[in-house]
Amino acid sequence: MATESASEGGLVFHPLDQFIVKPLFGDGAVAWYTPTNVTLWLAIAVLATAALFVLGSRGRAIVPTRVQSIGELFYGFIYKMVEDVCGRDGVKYFPYIMTLFVFILFSNYLALIPMSYSPTSMIAVTVVLGFGVFIAVTILGLVKNGTEFLGLFWMSDAPLFLRPVIAVIEVISYFVRPVSLSIRLAGNIAAGHVVLKVFATFAAAAVISPAAIVGIVAIYGLEILVCGIQAYVFTILTCVYLKDALHPAH
Amino acid sequence: MEGDLAHIGAGIAAIGSGLAALGVGNVAGNYLAGALRNPSAAAGQTATLFIGLAFAEALGIFAFLVSLLLMFAV
C-alpha cells in the first residue's frame, strides 16, 4: 500500500499502513510463532494489567498509594457493574470480566501512544475476545440451566402464533452477538486511528496545517473518550450476556 | 473500470455511517429528554444508554467495514 500511495499522490504514508503486521526482528515471513509488533503490544498490555494489580497492591496499604487507588477504583467500578447487571450469583464470574475490561482498556489506551500498534484494532484479536465470551457464556448457560436455557429463545409471554417467528429472530440475534461484539471494538478503534492518520496527512499541506493540527488534537481527545467507552461497552455487554445465561427466563 | 465501481460502492456504503449517526443521536437525545424530566432516575439508566448507543453505533461500523472491504479486499 505504501508504494501505491507514494506513486499516486506523493503522500508519505497511507492511512492504513499503521495496521501492517511486521516481524520485530528482520523482514522474514510472519509465522504463528514470530514475534511481531502485534504480539509486542499485546504483551505490553498484559504486563501493564499485571503491573497495575500486582505491583500496585503490593503494599496492601490501608491508606492506598496512588497506583493502588487506581486499581481499587477499577475494581469497585467493575464489581458494582457485575453486581447490578448479573445479580449476586454473577459475582462468581467477576475475575473474568475484570480481566477483560482492564486488558481491553490498556490495549486501547496504549495504542494512543504515537508509533505504537493497536492490538484491539486487529479483528483477529477482538474475534478471540468476542468468541471467548460467547462460548463461555453459552456453555455456562447450558451447564447451569440445562434445557431451560433454550427458553431464552422461546418467549412464553408472546402470542402463540408469533412465538416461532420470534424464536428464529432470537436465535439469529444470539449468534450475531460475538460478531457484533468483536467488530464493534475493532471497527471503532481502527476507524479512530485511520481518522487520526488522515488528519495527519492534511497537516503536511502548508495552507491548512494549523487547522489540521487543531483537528488532530480534538480527535485525539475524542479517541481517549472512545477507547474508554468501548472497553466499558464490551464489558457491560459481557455482563448482559452472562445475565441471560444465568437467568434465561424472560 | 471494476475498481471504479468498487469505489462508488464504498462511497455509497459510507452513507450508512451517517444513518448510524441518526440512530446514535436519537438514543442520546431521548435519554437527555427523559433525564431532564426525571433527573433522579437518570443515573440508574446510564448503563442502558451505553448499551443502546453501542447497538446503534455497531451498524454504522458495519457500513464502514463494507466500504473498507470494497476499497481494499474486493
- Mean pLDDT over each residue of chain A, to the nearest integer: 86
Q: What pLDDT does A5 receive?
A: 41
> For residues B55 and A125, which has the higher predicted lDDT (pLDDT)?
A125
8 A C-beta contact, residue B67 and residue B13: yes
Q: What pLDDT does B28 receive?
A: 93
Place of cell 453486581: A83
Q: What pLDDT does A9 receive?
A: 46
CA distance, residue A27 to nearest chain B CA (Å): 23
Amino acid in the structure at residue A174:
Y
Distance CA(A107)–CA(A123), nearest Å, equals: 13
CA proximity to B6, closest of B59, B64, B61, B73: B73
Q: What pLDDT does A101 receive?
A: 94
Chain B residues 43-72 with CB within 8 Å of chain A: 47, 50-51, 53-55, 57-58, 61-62, 64-65, 72
| SS3 (DSSP) at A23 | strand
* pTM across the whole model: 0.84
Place of cell 514475534: A35
Contact (CB<8Å) A187/B72: no
Could you list the pLDDT tens digit for every one of the 250 residues in chain A? 444 444 444 456 777 778 888 888 877 777 778 888 888 999 999 999 999 888 888 877 788 888 888 889 999 999 999 998 888 888 999 999 999 999 999 999 998 998 888 889 888 999 999 999 999 999 999 998 888 888 888 877 878 888 888 889 989 989 999 998 999 999 889 888 888 888 888 887 778 888 888 989 998 998 998 899 999 999 999 999 999 888 877 5
Q: What are the tens digits of pLDDT across the range A76-127?
A: 999 999 998 888 888 999 999 999 999 999 999 998 998 888 889 888 999 9
Distance CA(B59)–CA(A217), nearest Å, equals: 27
In this predicted complex, what is the ipTM? 0.73
Distance CA(A99)–CA(A159), nearest Å, equals: 41
- For residue A36, the cross-strand partners are A23
> DSSP letter at A155?
-
Q: Going from the N-terminus, what domains does chain B have, and what CATH number goes with each?
A: 2-72 (1.20.20.10)
> DSSP letter at A56?
T
CB-CB neighbors (< 8 A) of A101 in chain B: none
Contact (CB<8Å) A180/B65: no
Distance CA(A179)–CA(A181), nearest Å, equals: 5
Q: What pLDDT does A16 receive?
A: 77
Q: What pLDDT does A3 receive?
A: 42
8 A C-beta contact, residue A24 and residue A37: yes
Burial degree of A175 (CB within 10 A; 0-12, 13-18, 19+)? exposed
Contact of A240 with chain B, judged by CB distance below 8 Å, is answered with yes
The grid coordinates listed for A171 are 436465535
The dihedral through the CA atoms of A68, A97, A187, A1 has a sign that is positive
| Helix (H) or strand (E) run with residue A211 in it | helix A209-246
Contact of A180 with chain B, judged by CB distance below 8 Å, is answered with yes
